[in-house]
Structure 1
Amino acid sequence: MPTVAERPPAAQPNDVARPNAVGGDTAPPIAVELRGVRRHFGSGDQLVRAVDGLDLTIRRGEVVALLGPNGAGKTTTLDMLLGLSEPGEGSVRVRGMVPAAAARRGAIAAVLQTGGLLADLTVGETVRLIASLHGAAAMARVPSVLTKADLTALVGRRVAKCSGGEQQRVKFALALVADPGILVLDEPTAGMDVTARRRFWDVMRADADAGRTIIFATHYLEEAEQFAHRTVVMHRGRIVADAPTAQLRVGLGARGIAASLPADDEDAAGILRRLRESEDATDVRVDAGRLTLRASDSDAIAAALLAAGCRDLEITAPTLETAFTALTED
């Protein structure tokens, strides 16, 4: 990514994908492409395959969540996508360019967990400084960027006096000043309160609707569920699932069922015995007379429970969390 010491070359009109803009209609349909990418660390018994044969294509305007447990390879993948590290094998292209060139042109930007800010500068000075590296158009965008990042009330505050969530919003503003066609977010809402998180994703949704490509890694599964059109799940350096978020959730997550058992102990015991023998029911539990379970064929199980005398029955849709657990448990 550009630093204070390295002024990027001026962006050309077609560097950034924007609908209804000069270069929007001519932008390539593929925003990001990784082919056969491997990135290993160490050797022998200490070898770590952080990324192990990754193939991934993301098209312009997609909102993609990158999920996986710690050590899955998400951050390493994002680092290569941003040109911060090189793959040991394979190729990475951002709008047809090597990632470092795309970053210098302002075609891709990021909000990362790592990387510090200059503590003695104010918020306004920090944003204007980075904007100056991208030319007059970026400087003109500073007021709107400060508004988008909800920083207008903090422009005079020194960065050192900002909370963790506020500093994350400063990084968000820095990523926006070049008006990148592709925005990479690594745990973007870490440290933000509920209101700030909601505002952040409102801005991201509007940007995605305007054609910006957004790729984000998060541990908040509800964020992926609410905002990602597509979810890519990584585990041990490989992609184990890549599908529309709703399809992934439904395809791998059994529905939850809850019901009150009959008051008769013998009837209740018979229901539990049949459920535990069934291949369709899992996680069968009873707490204070309330039965809970997961079922692949929820309609059939629900009908059987009602016929057996259960009442107050509830069925809940599968969540992305259940799908994620199914994909990443050993």
Structure 2
Amino acid sequence: MTTSTTATTPAIELRGLAKTFPAVRGSHDSEVRAVDAVDLRIQPGEIVAFLGPNGAGKTTTLDLVLGLTEPTSGTVEVFGRRPREAVVSGAVSAVLQTGGLLRDLTVRETVRMIASTYAAHSPVDVVIDRAGLTALADRRVSKCSGGEQQRLRFALALLPDPRLLVLDEPTAGMDVTARRDFWDTMHADASAGRTVVFATHYLEEADAFADRIVLIAGGRIVADGTTAEIRSRAGGRTVSATLPDHALARATAVLRSTEGVRTVDERGARVVVTASDSDAVARLLLGELGGRDLEIVTAGLEQAFMALTGDDRDRLGDQPAHHDEELVR
């Protein structure tokens, strides 16, 4: 990967970014605000996941980063340049969910054809190997599964040796092994300085493979941080302990009067408390209330997602990918 800007230049910088579309006919609103005043900075070498419910604005934001659409207001810079300039220079590649493949060509023929459009590119066999397609190189695209076609799109994205990879549902259709191999490659690339930004509907994927999660709802960033930080912000921690019989009668009243406690649940001799200050609750349970078998658990990412986005319909998991552009346009 070549570098032409300083190490301090952000890979992506969004300032006051907004994008509106005309509202659907019959709507009371004149426009839909798909992206609403987003500020975001992503540094070189980061692996960042965009999470959010359907229609949150994830794909629209990525389209703006790729220069596929222009912002209504605000600015987008990719390595200090306008998005289209960065794309044309080969600094940015994308793996999208659909399009760009000719069914009658083989995998190798497809990669060779796209490689011919670049003045300089990585060796064809190298990118085929990195995408895990060597055994399928002579197979026609029409005979490839959805996951295999997605890996072919990944191979094409690697041809210009980009400094930034933008991925929209990159592992859609891949089996578990292919997903793991794909992310092993992404981490190796990030260690070498490549930046990876991806939108996903797989909570486990974001949790396992991203260094940072940007949670989007209603076109705005509602949380930005590591998985642990987002879990903590959303629901605090759950603290539980087994209490002696003589302490159970007054435990609920004592705990509910403690600052930062949100819920108290008695489950036989065990008390389960959700609180923003888990240390204070732990001291109270072990000290004044004489508890034992203490456990402290951080909220799950799915709980955090629902708490921060207010969405209890779209339980992100191993579901078919949705393209949120269909909902906002």
> In structure 2, do the counterparts of structure 1 residues 286 and 200 end up closer, same or farther at CA, with 3 Å as the change threshold?
farther
Tell me which residue corresponds to 1:29: 9
Alpha-carbon distance between aligned partners in 2 of 1:203 and 1:68, rounded to the nearest angstrom: 25
Structure 1 position 218 matched with structure 2 position 209: no
Q: Does structure 1 conserve the Cα–Cα contact (< 8 Å) formed by 2:214 and 2:223? A: yes
The TM-score, its normalising length taken from structure 1, stands at: 0.80
Equivalent residue in structure 2 for 1:71, among 46, 51, 55: 55
Task: Using the TM superposition, give the Cα deviation of residue 164 of structure 1 relative to its aligned residue in structure 2, in angstroms.
Answer: 2.1
- Choose from 100, 105, 111 the match for 2:84: 100
CA distance in 1, matches of 2:270, 2:127: 51
Contact 1:40/1:50 (8 A) holds in 2: yes
Name 1:7's counterpart in structure 2: none
User: What aligned pairs does 1:1-330 form with structure 2 within 5 A after superposition?
Assistant: 18=1, 21=2, 23=3, 29-43=9-23, 45-115=29-99, 117-135=101-119, 137-138=121-122, 140=123, 142-243=124-225, 246-260=228-242, 262=244, 264=245, 267-286=247-266, 290-307=270-287, 308-329=289-310
Q: Which amino acid aligns with 1:61?
A: G
Counterpart residue type for residue 165 of structure 2: L
**Deviation of the 1:202 alpha carbon:** 1.1
1:259 counterpart SS class: strand
Please state whether the residue corresponding to 1:189 is helix, strand or coil: coil
Q: CA deviation at 1:86?
A: 1.6
The Cα shift of 1:203 comes to 0.8
| SS of equivalent to 1:93 | strand
How big is the shift at 1:157? 2.0
CA distance in 1, matches of 2:103, 2:249: 65
Structure 2 residue aligned with 1:13: none
How far apart are the structure 1 equivalents of 2:295 and 2:8?
48
Q: In structure 1, how many angstroms separate the alpha carbons of the residues matched to 2:179 and 2:125?
A: 21
Q: Which is worse superposed, 238-247 or 177-186?
A: 238-247
After superposition, the C-alpha distances for 1:117-171 in whole angstroms (9 at most, x for unaligned) are 2222222222222222114533x2x222122111111112222222222222111
* Contact 2:5/2:79 (8 A) holds in 1: no
Code of the residue aligned with 1:315 in structure 2: it is I
> Which structure 2 residue ranges, 5 or more long, are not aligned?
312-329
Match of 2:316 in 1: none
1:23-59 Cα offsets, whole Å, 9 max, x none, are 4675772322323322111156252100122222323
1:116 deviates by 5.2
Highest RCO, 1 vs 2 (Cα 8 Å, sep ≥ 6):
2
Q: TM-score under structure 2 normalisation?
A: 0.81
Output the CA distance in 2 between the equivalents of 1:94 and 1:68: 23
User: Where does structure 1 lack aligned partners over 5 or more consecutive residues?
Assistant: 1-17
Tell me if the contact between 1:28 and 1:95 (Cα under 8 Å) persists in the aligned partners. no
Alpha-carbon distance change, 79 to 205 in structure 1, aligned in 2, over 3 angstroms: same
How big is the shift at 1:64?
A: 2.2
The residue type paired with residue 116 of structure 2 is: S
Contact 1:233 1:239 in 2 (8 A): yes
Give identity over the alignment, percent.
Answer: 58
Q: Note if contact 1:253-1:320 (Cα within 8 Å) is conserved in structure 2.
A: no
Structure-1 separation of matches of 2:145 and 2:268: 44
Report the count of equivalent residues.
306
| SS of corresponding position for 1:201 | helix
